[in-house]
Amino acid sequence: MITVMNEIVVFGGCFNPPLNSHFSLAEQMINEYKQIEKIIFVPASSKYQKAGLIDNEHRYKMLKLVCDKNEKFDVSRIELDFPRQLHTIETLNKIKEQYPKNEICFTLGTDNLKELETWNEAEEIVKNFKIYVFERGTDNIEEIITLSKFLTKNKQAFQKVENHIKSNLSSTYVRTQLKNKKSIKYLTPNEVEEYIEQNKLYKV
């Protein structure tokens, strides 16, 4: 008898700030794939040195406000608390240590899929971890895989997320709205909107 391991899905990103689209994608995955036990949001550390990236604690707290209300969602501080910037393979391996009885997977947009071959330890990633892929814009995952020898060789690692709601909404757009003193209602969860207002984030 084959035992199917429940999946823990790692959802990485800057979450600067977290958007409704982040959470709706995660919820949609849980609805679509019954083997998913939990989705863990992993905010990137400010050591990532991305322009405009606000303090780690603010981004962590905004995620936690939302995730605490969904038993299938969690937030990890793995990358925030580590003394240097972790590579994706290191983050995945550390989460695997925390959940040895689960299959660890992670999410990727087709924009990043195109660059996956250049990532640190890319071969180990595709060998050891299932990757859920969201199509961005007019991208077609099958075409992208066909155009790359690396992706074609490892196509068993990729699971296209079917029927997901595509959104062009970005955190950059939300930050611009805030800087221009415009509403972000319905773009972020209410808890995030309230936290941003209370802490006067992204206003400068």
Q: Which CATH number fits the domain that encloses residue 14?
A: 3.40.50.620
Within-domain flag for 195: no
Residues ≥6 apart with Cβ < 8 Å to 37? 6, 7, 8, 72, 102
Indicate the average pLDDT of the chain: 94
CA distance linking residue 75 with residue 66, whole number of Å: 10
Average pLDDT over residues 122-130: 97
Within-domain flag for 33: yes
Within-domain flag for 186: no
Residues ≥6 apart with Cβ < 8 Å to 100? none
DSSP category for residue 155? G
Within-domain flag for 203: no
pTM over 0.85: yes
In which band, very low, low, confident or very high, does the pLDDT at 137 lie, cut at 50, 70 and 90?
A: confident
The angle at the Cα of 43, spanning 41 to 49, to the nearest 5 degrees, equals 160
Within-domain flag for 193: no
Within-domain flag for 200: no
For residue 3, pLDDT over 90 is answered with no
- In DSSP terms, 12 is beta-bridged to 42
Within-domain flag for 197: no
Give the count of alpha carbons within 13 A of 8, CB side only.
19
CA distance linking residue 188 with residue 166, whole number of Å: 16
Residue 124 near residue 89, CB atoms below 8 Å: yes
pLDDT of residue 1: 45
Task: Tell me how many domains the chain contains.
Answer: 1
CA distance linking residue 59 with residue 80, whole number of Å: 10
For residue 119, pLDDT over 80 is answered with yes
For residue 72, pLDDT over 80 is answered with yes
For residue 149, pLDDT over 90 is answered with yes
- Token match 């899905």: residue? 9
- Domain span including residue 32: 7-167
Within-domain flag for 202: no
For residue 66, pLDDT over 60 is answered with yes
